[in-house]
A = this chain, B = another copy of it.
Protein backbone atom coordinates (compact mmCIF):
# COMPACT_ATOMS: atom_id res chain seq x y z
CA UNK A 1 0.00 0.00 0.00
CA UNK A 2 1.70 3.19 -1.23
CA UNK A 3 1.00 6.83 -0.44
CA UNK A 4 2.22 10.07 -1.99
CA UNK A 5 2.21 13.36 -0.09
CA UNK A 6 1.87 16.59 -2.04
CA UNK A 7 2.31 19.91 -0.21
CA UNK A 8 1.33 23.03 -2.08
CA UNK A 9 2.69 26.53 -1.45
CA UNK A 10 5.41 28.89 -2.66
CA UNK A 11 6.34 29.60 0.98
CA UNK A 12 7.68 26.04 1.25
CA UNK A 13 9.73 26.24 -1.96
CA UNK A 14 11.42 29.51 -1.05
CA UNK A 15 12.21 28.18 2.42
CA UNK A 16 10.04 30.68 4.23
CA UNK A 17 8.48 27.87 6.23
CA UNK A 18 9.72 24.37 6.96
CA UNK A 19 7.23 21.73 5.81
CA UNK A 20 6.39 19.94 9.06
CA UNK A 21 3.05 18.64 7.74
CA UNK A 22 4.74 15.97 5.63
CA UNK A 23 6.69 14.57 8.58
CA UNK A 24 3.48 14.32 10.61
CA UNK A 25 1.56 12.64 7.78
CA UNK A 26 4.49 10.33 6.99
CA UNK A 27 4.76 9.27 10.60
CA UNK A 28 1.02 8.62 11.01
CA UNK A 29 0.71 6.66 7.76
CA UNK A 30 3.80 4.59 8.58
CA UNK A 31 2.22 3.62 11.89
CA UNK A 32 -0.74 2.01 10.13
CA UNK A 33 1.51 0.18 7.67
CA UNK A 34 1.22 2.48 4.65
CA UNK A 35 4.47 2.93 2.75
CA UNK A 36 5.33 6.53 1.78
CA UNK A 37 6.56 6.51 -1.82
CA UNK A 38 7.46 10.18 -1.99
CA UNK A 39 6.83 13.67 -0.66
CA UNK A 40 6.53 16.40 -3.26
CA UNK A 41 6.36 20.15 -2.59
CA UNK A 42 5.15 22.32 -5.47
CA UNK A 43 4.11 25.87 -6.27
CA UNK A 44 0.55 27.28 -6.10
CA UNK A 45 0.27 26.67 -9.82
CA UNK A 46 -2.43 24.81 -11.75
CA UNK A 47 -0.23 22.87 -14.15
CA UNK A 48 2.18 21.86 -11.37
CA UNK A 49 -0.74 20.50 -9.33
CA UNK A 50 -2.29 18.63 -12.28
CA UNK A 51 1.03 17.16 -13.31
CA UNK A 52 1.70 15.97 -9.76
CA UNK A 53 -1.77 14.41 -9.49
CA UNK A 54 -1.38 12.60 -12.83
CA UNK A 55 1.79 10.92 -11.67
CA UNK A 56 0.79 10.16 -8.10
CA UNK A 57 -2.57 8.64 -9.03
CA UNK A 58 -0.85 6.16 -11.35
CA UNK A 59 1.82 5.17 -8.84
CA UNK A 60 0.12 5.26 -5.43
CA UNK A 61 -3.06 4.06 -3.73
CA UNK A 62 -3.37 7.11 -1.52
CA UNK A 63 -2.55 10.76 -2.25
CA UNK A 64 -2.57 13.35 0.53
CA UNK A 65 -2.58 16.98 -0.60
CA UNK A 66 -2.15 19.84 1.87
CA UNK A 67 -2.35 23.59 1.31
CA UNK A 68 -3.88 26.03 -1.15
CA UNK A 69 -7.36 25.99 0.39
CA UNK A 70 -7.28 29.44 2.03
CA UNK A 71 -9.48 32.41 1.11
CA UNK A 72 -6.88 34.48 -0.80
CA UNK A 73 -6.15 34.73 -4.50
CA UNK A 74 -3.08 32.52 -4.45
CA UNK A 75 -5.10 29.60 -3.07
CA UNK A 76 -6.02 27.61 -6.17
CA UNK A 77 -6.17 23.99 -4.96
CA UNK A 78 -9.98 23.78 -4.93
CA UNK A 79 -10.57 25.20 -8.40
CA UNK A 80 -7.78 22.98 -9.76
CA UNK A 81 -9.26 19.86 -8.15
CA UNK A 82 -12.70 20.80 -9.55
CA UNK A 83 -11.20 21.04 -13.02
CA UNK A 84 -9.28 17.78 -12.58
CA UNK A 85 -12.02 15.62 -11.12
CA UNK A 86 -15.00 17.33 -12.81
CA UNK A 87 -18.37 18.27 -11.30
CA UNK A 88 -19.65 21.64 -10.19
CA UNK A 89 -19.33 23.74 -7.03
CA UNK A 90 -22.15 23.44 -4.53
CA UNK A 91 -22.57 24.90 -1.05
CA UNK A 92 -21.83 22.38 1.70
CA UNK A 93 -24.48 23.30 4.27
CA UNK A 94 -22.79 21.82 7.32
CA UNK A 95 -19.52 23.62 6.53
CA UNK A 96 -21.33 26.91 5.89
CA UNK A 97 -23.10 26.58 9.22
CA UNK A 98 -19.76 25.95 10.93
CA UNK A 99 -18.01 28.85 9.15
CA UNK A 100 -20.84 31.21 10.15
CA UNK A 101 -20.57 30.20 13.80
CA UNK A 102 -16.76 30.40 13.60
CA UNK A 103 -16.97 34.07 12.63
CA UNK A 104 -19.87 34.87 14.94
CA UNK A 105 -17.88 33.51 17.92
CA UNK A 106 -15.01 35.85 17.06
CA UNK A 107 -17.35 38.81 16.57
CA UNK A 108 -16.32 39.12 12.93
CA UNK A 109 -18.38 39.62 9.75
CA UNK A 110 -18.55 36.79 7.24
CA UNK A 111 -16.97 38.05 4.02
CA UNK A 112 -17.73 36.89 0.48
CA UNK A 113 -14.32 35.15 0.45
CA UNK A 114 -15.16 33.12 3.53
CA UNK A 115 -18.65 32.26 2.25
CA UNK A 116 -16.97 30.76 -0.80
CA UNK A 117 -14.91 28.47 1.43
CA UNK A 118 -18.11 26.49 2.08
CA UNK A 119 -18.38 25.74 -1.66
CA UNK A 120 -17.11 22.30 -2.63
CA UNK A 121 -17.05 20.23 -5.85
CA UNK A 122 -20.00 17.79 -5.93
CA UNK A 123 -17.50 15.15 -7.11
CA UNK A 124 -15.98 14.79 -3.60
CA UNK A 125 -16.94 13.67 -0.14
CA UNK A 126 -16.50 16.39 2.48
CA UNK A 127 -14.49 16.09 5.71
CA UNK A 128 -15.93 18.71 8.06
CA UNK A 129 -13.17 20.99 9.40
CA UNK A 130 -14.04 21.75 13.02
CA UNK A 131 -11.10 24.05 13.70
CA UNK A 132 -10.94 26.28 10.61
CA UNK A 133 -12.82 27.51 7.57
CA UNK A 134 -11.50 25.24 4.77
CA UNK A 135 -13.30 21.85 4.51
CA UNK A 136 -11.29 18.72 3.72
CA UNK A 137 -12.21 16.78 0.57
CA UNK A 138 -11.91 13.16 -0.62
CA UNK A 139 -11.86 12.24 -4.31
CA UNK A 140 -11.46 8.82 -5.91
CA UNK A 141 -9.94 7.99 -9.29
CA UNK A 142 -8.57 4.72 -10.75
CA UNK A 143 -9.10 3.15 -7.33
CA UNK A 144 -6.80 5.76 -5.70
CA UNK A 145 -8.04 7.88 -2.78
CA UNK A 146 -7.10 11.56 -3.01
CA UNK A 147 -7.42 13.66 0.15
CA UNK A 148 -7.19 17.45 0.05
CA UNK A 149 -6.53 19.08 3.43
CA UNK A 150 -5.85 22.63 4.66
CA UNK A 151 -2.18 23.58 5.12
CA UNK A 152 -2.49 25.01 8.64
CA UNK A 153 -0.82 22.30 10.76
CA UNK A 154 -3.39 22.45 13.55
CA UNK A 155 -6.39 22.02 11.20
CA UNK A 156 -4.63 19.44 9.05
CA UNK A 157 -3.65 17.27 12.03
CA UNK A 158 -7.16 17.22 13.47
CA UNK A 159 -8.70 16.22 10.13
CA UNK A 160 -5.96 13.68 9.49
CA UNK A 161 -6.33 11.82 12.78
CA UNK A 162 -10.11 12.03 13.09
CA UNK A 163 -11.15 11.55 9.46
CA UNK A 164 -8.38 10.52 7.07
CA UNK A 165 -6.88 7.62 9.06
CA UNK A 166 -10.29 5.97 9.75
CA UNK A 167 -11.25 6.50 6.07
CA UNK A 168 -8.08 4.72 4.87
CA UNK A 169 -8.45 1.89 7.39
CA UNK A 170 -12.01 1.26 6.23
CA UNK A 171 -11.09 1.25 2.57
CA UNK A 172 -7.92 -0.88 2.65
CA UNK A 173 -6.78 -3.99 4.45
CA UNK A 174 -3.29 -3.05 5.66
CA UNK A 175 -0.27 -5.20 6.60
CA UNK A 176 1.18 -4.68 10.06
CA UNK A 177 4.37 -2.71 10.39
CA UNK A 178 6.17 -2.16 13.68
CA UNK A 179 9.14 0.07 14.51
CA UNK A 180 11.34 0.57 17.47
CA UNK A 181 14.23 3.01 17.74
CA UNK A 182 17.25 2.41 19.98
CA UNK A 183 18.84 5.66 21.21
CA UNK A 184 22.61 5.65 21.72
CA UNK A 185 25.23 8.16 22.82
CA UNK A 186 28.98 8.09 22.29
CA UNK A 187 29.39 5.63 19.40
CA UNK A 188 30.16 7.05 15.93
CA UNK A 189 28.09 5.76 12.99
CA UNK A 190 30.94 3.84 11.34
CA UNK A 191 31.98 2.12 14.59
CA UNK A 192 28.37 1.15 15.17
CA UNK A 193 28.08 -0.22 11.64
CA UNK A 194 31.12 -2.45 12.26
CA UNK A 195 29.71 -3.55 15.59
CA UNK A 196 26.40 -4.56 14.01
CA UNK A 197 27.76 -5.84 10.68
CA UNK A 198 27.33 -9.57 11.31
CA UNK A 199 23.86 -9.14 12.69
CA UNK A 200 22.83 -6.75 9.90
CA UNK A 201 24.20 -8.99 7.13
CA UNK A 202 22.05 -11.88 8.33
CA UNK A 203 18.78 -10.02 8.72
CA UNK A 204 15.74 -11.52 7.00
CA UNK A 205 14.08 -9.48 4.25
CA UNK A 206 11.17 -8.25 6.41
CA UNK A 207 13.43 -6.58 8.99
CA UNK A 208 15.12 -3.26 8.20
CA UNK A 209 17.73 -1.19 10.07
CA UNK A 210 18.25 2.56 9.62
CA UNK A 211 21.04 4.71 11.11
CA UNK A 212 19.87 8.20 12.15
CA UNK A 213 22.88 10.25 13.31
CA UNK A 214 22.94 13.72 14.89
CA UNK A 215 25.81 15.33 16.85
CA UNK A 216 26.67 13.04 19.79
CA UNK A 217 23.54 10.94 19.34
CA UNK A 218 22.98 7.96 17.04
CA UNK A 219 19.48 6.52 16.72
CA UNK A 220 18.95 3.02 15.26
CA UNK A 221 15.51 2.31 13.87
CA UNK A 222 14.53 -1.33 13.43
CA UNK A 223 11.33 -2.04 11.50
CA UNK A 224 9.48 -5.22 10.70
CA UNK A 225 6.45 -5.88 8.53
CA UNK A 226 4.14 -8.83 7.90
CA UNK A 227 0.69 -10.16 8.67
CA UNK A 228 0.82 -11.69 12.14
CA UNK A 229 0.99 -8.83 14.62
CA UNK A 230 1.70 -11.04 17.61
CA UNK A 231 4.59 -12.77 15.86
CA UNK A 232 5.98 -9.42 14.64
CA UNK A 233 5.99 -8.05 18.16
CA UNK A 234 7.91 -11.03 19.51
CA UNK A 235 10.33 -11.03 16.59
CA UNK A 236 10.98 -7.28 16.84
CA UNK A 237 11.62 -7.50 20.58
CA UNK A 238 14.01 -10.41 19.99
CA UNK A 239 16.00 -8.38 17.50
CA UNK A 240 16.01 -5.36 19.81
CA UNK A 241 17.39 -7.55 22.61
CA UNK A 242 20.13 -8.81 20.31
CA UNK A 243 21.16 -5.30 19.29
CA UNK A 244 21.02 -4.00 22.87
CA UNK A 245 23.37 -6.83 23.89
CA UNK A 246 25.78 -6.03 21.07
CA UNK A 247 25.94 -2.33 21.96
CA UNK A 248 25.81 -2.57 25.74
CA UNK A 249 23.64 -0.60 28.15
CA UNK A 250 26.29 2.02 28.88
CA UNK A 251 25.68 3.61 25.52
CA UNK A 252 21.92 3.05 25.24
CA UNK A 253 19.94 5.73 27.03
CA UNK A 254 16.46 4.93 25.82
CA UNK A 255 14.02 4.04 23.06
CA UNK A 256 11.81 5.83 20.54
CA UNK A 257 11.01 9.35 21.76
CA UNK A 258 13.11 9.37 24.96
CA UNK A 259 15.66 12.15 25.44
CA UNK A 260 18.78 11.97 27.61
CA UNK A 261 17.70 14.99 29.67
CA UNK A 262 14.27 13.46 30.28
CA UNK A 263 15.71 10.04 31.20
CA UNK A 264 18.20 11.56 33.65
CA UNK A 265 15.42 13.71 35.11
CA UNK A 266 13.09 10.72 35.51
CA UNK A 267 15.61 8.69 37.50
CA UNK A 268 16.59 11.64 39.69
CA UNK A 269 12.91 12.29 40.42
CA UNK A 270 12.22 8.63 41.22
CA UNK A 271 15.26 8.48 43.51
CA UNK A 272 14.38 11.85 45.08
CA UNK A 273 17.98 12.85 44.33
CA UNK A 274 19.28 16.31 43.53
CA UNK A 275 21.71 17.64 40.95
CA UNK A 276 24.04 20.60 40.50
CA UNK A 277 26.35 21.45 37.61
CA UNK A 278 29.62 23.37 37.16
CA UNK A 279 30.07 24.25 33.50
CA UNK A 280 33.10 25.74 31.86
CA UNK A 281 33.40 24.79 28.17
CA UNK A 282 29.72 23.85 27.84
CA UNK A 283 28.78 27.38 28.96
CA UNK A 284 25.30 26.65 30.31
CA UNK A 285 24.20 24.12 27.69
CA UNK A 286 23.85 21.20 30.13
CA UNK A 287 21.81 23.33 32.54
CA UNK A 288 19.69 24.49 29.63
CA UNK A 289 19.01 20.87 28.58
CA UNK A 290 18.18 19.80 32.15
CA UNK A 291 15.81 22.75 32.68
CA UNK A 292 14.06 22.21 29.34
CA UNK A 293 12.15 19.43 31.15
CA UNK A 294 8.95 20.52 32.93
CA UNK A 295 9.24 19.92 36.68
CA UNK A 296 13.06 19.87 36.65
CA UNK A 297 13.05 22.26 39.61
CA UNK A 298 12.21 19.22 41.75
CA UNK A 299 15.69 17.71 41.29
CA UNK A 300 17.87 20.45 39.77
CA UNK A 301 19.12 22.97 42.31
CA UNK A 302 21.28 25.07 40.05
CA UNK A 303 24.62 25.55 38.41
CA UNK A 304 27.60 27.83 38.11
CA UNK A 305 28.95 28.68 34.69
CA UNK A 306 32.60 29.38 35.50
CA UNK A 307 34.03 30.93 32.36
CA UNK A 308 36.77 32.59 34.31
CA UNK A 309 39.46 31.02 36.51
CA UNK A 310 38.72 33.37 39.37
CA UNK A 311 35.13 32.11 39.49
CA UNK A 312 36.53 28.57 39.59
CA UNK A 313 38.73 29.35 42.60
CA UNK A 314 36.37 31.71 44.46
CA UNK A 315 33.06 29.92 44.00
CA UNK A 316 34.02 26.33 43.30
CA UNK A 317 37.01 26.16 45.61
CA UNK A 318 39.38 25.04 42.86
CA UNK A 319 43.03 25.15 43.93
CA UNK A 320 44.94 28.07 42.44
CA UNK A 321 48.22 26.16 42.45
CA UNK A 322 46.61 23.17 40.67
CA UNK A 323 45.21 25.59 38.08
CA UNK A 324 48.78 26.81 37.51
CA UNK A 325 50.34 23.33 37.54
CA UNK A 326 47.84 21.34 35.51
CA UNK A 327 45.95 24.02 33.60
CA UNK A 328 42.18 24.59 33.65
CA UNK A 329 41.62 21.74 31.19
CA UNK A 330 42.74 18.79 33.31
CA UNK A 331 41.49 15.88 35.36
CA UNK A 332 42.46 17.61 38.62
CA UNK A 333 40.46 20.74 37.89
CA UNK A 334 37.34 19.06 36.52
CA UNK A 335 37.15 16.89 39.65
CA UNK A 336 37.65 19.87 41.94
CA UNK A 337 34.93 21.74 40.06
CA UNK A 338 32.51 18.84 40.54
CA UNK A 339 33.35 18.60 44.26
CA UNK A 340 33.08 22.38 44.57
CA UNK A 341 29.62 22.69 43.05
CA UNK A 342 28.35 19.68 45.00
CA UNK A 343 29.51 21.31 48.23
CA UNK A 344 28.16 24.74 47.26
CA UNK A 345 24.71 23.55 46.25
CA UNK A 346 24.51 20.56 48.63
CA UNK A 347 23.27 18.03 46.09
CA UNK A 348 23.52 14.24 45.74
CA UNK A 349 24.99 14.34 42.24
CA UNK A 350 27.29 16.85 40.57
CA UNK A 351 28.54 17.28 37.02
CA UNK A 352 31.50 19.37 35.82
CA UNK A 353 32.98 20.16 32.41
CA UNK A 354 36.15 21.93 31.33
CA UNK A 355 37.68 21.97 27.90
CA UNK A 356 38.57 23.80 24.73
CA UNK A 357 35.47 24.27 22.57
CA UNK A 358 37.38 26.27 19.99
CA UNK A 359 38.00 27.64 17.48
CA UNK A 360 40.79 29.34 19.48
CA UNK A 361 42.67 28.24 22.60
CA UNK A 362 44.14 24.95 21.40
CA UNK A 363 47.74 23.79 21.79
CA UNK A 364 49.75 20.71 20.77
CA UNK A 365 49.19 19.11 24.17
CA UNK A 366 45.56 20.11 24.39
CA UNK A 367 44.11 20.62 20.92
CA UNK A 368 40.70 22.20 20.29
CA UNK A 369 38.10 19.60 21.14
CA UNK A 370 39.85 18.35 24.31
CA UNK A 371 37.18 18.13 26.98
CA UNK A 372 37.21 16.70 30.52
CA UNK A 373 33.97 15.62 32.17
CA UNK A 374 33.47 14.53 35.77
CA UNK A 375 30.33 13.21 37.47
CA UNK A 376 30.33 12.28 41.13
CA UNK A 377 28.54 11.48 44.38
CA UNK A 378 29.98 11.19 47.85
CA UNK A 379 30.93 7.58 47.09
CA UNK A 380 31.71 7.41 43.37
CA UNK A 381 33.65 9.45 40.83
CA UNK A 382 33.65 8.99 37.07
CA UNK A 383 36.03 11.18 35.08
CA UNK A 384 36.56 10.95 31.36
CA UNK A 385 38.60 12.77 28.73
CA UNK A 386 37.16 13.31 25.26
CA UNK A 387 38.72 14.46 22.04
CA UNK A 388 36.08 15.91 19.74
CA UNK A 389 36.53 18.00 16.59
CA UNK A 390 37.12 21.60 15.64
CA UNK A 391 33.57 22.93 15.47
CA UNK A 392 32.59 24.90 18.55
CA UNK A 393 28.84 24.29 18.30
CA UNK A 394 29.29 20.54 17.84
CA UNK A 395 31.89 20.30 20.61
CA UNK A 396 29.53 21.98 23.06
CA UNK A 397 26.58 19.74 22.18
CA UNK A 398 28.66 16.55 22.13
CA UNK A 399 30.24 17.39 25.49
CA UNK A 400 26.80 18.10 26.93
CA UNK A 401 25.33 14.79 25.80
CA UNK A 402 28.46 12.92 26.94
CA UNK A 403 28.11 14.52 30.37
CA UNK A 404 24.42 13.60 30.60
CA UNK A 405 25.12 10.00 29.60
CA UNK A 406 28.01 9.72 32.04
CA UNK A 407 25.68 11.08 34.72
CA UNK A 408 23.02 8.52 33.71
CA UNK A 409 25.59 5.73 34.10
CA UNK A 410 26.68 7.04 37.49
CA UNK A 411 23.10 7.28 38.76
CA UNK A 412 22.37 3.71 37.62
CA UNK A 413 25.63 2.47 39.19
CA UNK A 414 24.63 4.19 42.44
CA UNK A 415 21.16 2.59 42.69
Contacts and interface: CB of A to CB of B under 8 A. Distances in A.
A37 B26 contact: no
A71 B23 contact: no
B301 A287 contact: no
Interface in A145-203: 152, 154, 179, 181, 188-191, 193-194, 200
B41 A38 contact: yes
B307 A304 contact: no
B30 A24 contact: no
A43 B308 CA distance: 49
A388 interface: yes
B311 A11 contact: no
Contacts of A286: 284
Contact of A210 (B11, B38, B48, B285): B11
B301 A302 contact: no
Contacts of A11: 210, 212, 221
A17 interface: yes
A117 B167 CA distance: 46
A348 to B, nearest CB: 14
Identical copies in the complex: 2
B13 A72 contact: no
B300 A307 contact: yes
A93 B130 CA distance: 60
Contact of A213 (B152, B294, B302): B152
A107 B307 contact: no
A392 B310 CA distance: 34
B12 A189 contact: no
A13 B39 contact: yes
A211 interface: yes
Interface residues of A, number: 105
Contact of A291 (B191, B194, B307, B391): B307
Interface centre among A24, A190, A215 (most CB of B within 10 A): A190
A283 B287 contact: yes
A15 interface: yes
A210 B10 contact: yes
Contacts of A22: 12, 15, 19, 41
A36 interface: yes
A282 B289 CA distance: 11
B307 A311 contact: no
Q: Which of A18, A290, A369 has the most CB of B within 10 A?
A: A18
A14 B38 contact: no
B301 A304 contact: no
A266 to B, nearest CB: 16
Contacts of A285: 284, 288, 291
Given A13-B36, A15-B28, A22-B41, 9 more contacts: A14-B27, A15-B23, A16-B27, A107-B387, A131-B389, A152-B213, A283-B292, A284-B284, A292-B393
26 contacts: A12-B23, A13-B26, A13-B37, A15-B28, A16-B23, A18-B23, A19-B23, A36-B43, A37-B42, A38-B40, A38-B43, A38-B48, A39-B40, A71-B193, A73-B193, A106-B369, A106-B389, A113-B193, A131-B389, A152-B213, A284-B286, A284-B288, A285-B291, A287-B305, A297-B308, A302-B304
Closest 7 CB pairs of A and B: A283-B291, A284-B287, A15-B27, A15-B26, A284-B284, A284-B288, A13-B36
Interface of A: 10-20, 22-28, 30, 36-43, 48, 70-74, 102, 105-108, 111, 113-114, 131, 152, 154, 179, 181, 188-191, 193-194, 200, 209-213, 215, 219, 221, 277, 279, 282-288, 290-292, 294-297, 300-308, 310-311, 315, 344-345, 358-360, 367, 369, 387-394, 396
